[in-house]
Amino acid sequence: MRLRTVLATLTAGLAAATCLTAAGPAGAADSADGNDCSPTVSLDRFSDALDKTTYEGTFVGNFSALAVDRDGSLAALEDRSSLFGLDPKTLQPISAVHLADEKGADLDSEGLVIDRDGTRLISSETEPSVRRYSRDGKILDRLPVPSSLLVAPAGRATANQTFEGLTLLPGGRTLLASMEYAISGDSAGIVRFQTWTRHHGRFRLAAQYAYRTDAGLGVPEVQATPDGRLLVLERGFTAGVGNTVRLYEADLRHATDTSTVEILNGQPDVQLIRKTLLADIATCPTLGATAKQPQPNPLLDNIEGMTITGRDHTGRLKVLLVSDDNQNRAQTTRFYYLRVRV
């Protein structure tokens, strides 16, 4: 989401607690090279190559999600209704598709999954919604959403605080969307993860789970690992201090199905999704990064998108993050190349 649109709401409860060639050695990954963010996460490099650029007249930025396409290219979704194809080596745009809703209006497009048949699943945080699109941007269908997760007054969610993350679990049968913040009635910090299961080619509503964020943070992205666990990004912003971005490993096993639990308030009979901190991105090496606004680490920006691009020779996951610059001169479109041991 456009994080600053909820800044006034969040800051009251928060404690003030360059280009690819300027990003450090491309092959750096071992713990001895000083690129560690934590015992399980290292930063290879970063790239600002796309910051404040355009492609065929369309602004390149506002990125909210990433995915690896079936041809090996990167798909980069912006939250203003464009889906870019990027060269995986240079990050340069090679295509752009405009997305729209059923009435032809632009989307607040946030989550992205490329399905096994090449169709695009796109979430929006305004209704919220999950739609299926063809490669050329034609709407194929729309998934059902529980009434409680709809934006008030139809449901209990707040506009621009709903479906941010979207991922397909291994095997391709289960789709999962993460709400960014709690819905009305639930305790602050407890967010719902909704799933759908595939039946005869169509996704139907399935189990729902609850995840507790750190104080003041929301969930902008989730990605399934090859073994069925999740990588979860938590993010927040404090004016005059900057961004907080943390990467967690989460495990759905043993979590309670909360689809019939009306109010989530930490009750003992509801087992939340277990999570383990992998890294606070503020602890990563700067690698020469600069920031255009105050940040705990100049490397940080409004990180919002994430995808797993493969494994390295040691079995670590290669994870790519991207920040949403909100088309703001004080922010940067930045890609982060991580290696994660889970």
Q: What is the pLDDT of residues 282-334, one digit of tens each?
A: 999 999 999 999 999 999 999 999 999 999 999 999 999 999 999 999 999 99
Longest dimension (CA), the chain: 55
pLDDT tens digits along 113-160: 999 999 999 999 999 999 999 999 999 999 999 999 999 999 999 999
In the predicted structure, residue 267 carries a pLDDT above the cut 80: yes
In the predicted structure, residue 27 carries a pLDDT above the cut 70: no
Token output for 263: 């109010």
Give the mean pLDDT of the chain.
91
Using a 10 angstrom Cβ sphere, with 0-12 exposed, 13-18 middle and 19 or more buried, the burial of residue 21 is exposed
Query: What is the total residue count of the chain?
Result: 342
pTM, to two decimals: 0.90
pLDDT tens digits along 13-26: 333 333 333 333 33
Q: What is the pLDDT of residue 33?
A: 52
Rounded to an integer, what distance in angstroms lies between the CA atom of residue 332 and that of residue 265? 37
Percent of the chain with pLDDT over 70: 90
pLDDT tens digits along 168-196: 999 999 999 999 999 999 999 999 999 99
Closest CA to 323 of 65, 53, 82: 65
Segment (H or E) for 7: helix 7-11
Helix (H, G, I), strand (E, B) or coil at 283: helix
For 6, phi then psi, to 5°, come to -115, 15
* Rg, C-alpha atoms of the chain: 19
Half-sphere exposure of 157 (CA within 13 A, CB side): 24
Using a 10 angstrom Cβ sphere, with 0-12 exposed, 13-18 middle and 19 or more buried, the burial of residue 303 is buried
Question: Can you name the residues that pair with 308 across neighbouring β-strands?
Answer: 319
Q: What is the pLDDT of residue 201?
A: 87
Whether a cis peptide bond, with omega within 30° of 0, leads into 93 is no
Q: What is the pLDDT of residue 325?
A: 98
pLDDT tens digits along 57-99: 999 999 999 999 999 999 999 999 999 999 999 999 999 999 9
pLDDT category at 1 given cuts 50, 70, 90 is low
Q: Assess contact for 247 and 276: CB atoms under 8 A.
A: no
Closest CA to 184 of 208, 159, 220, 213: 159
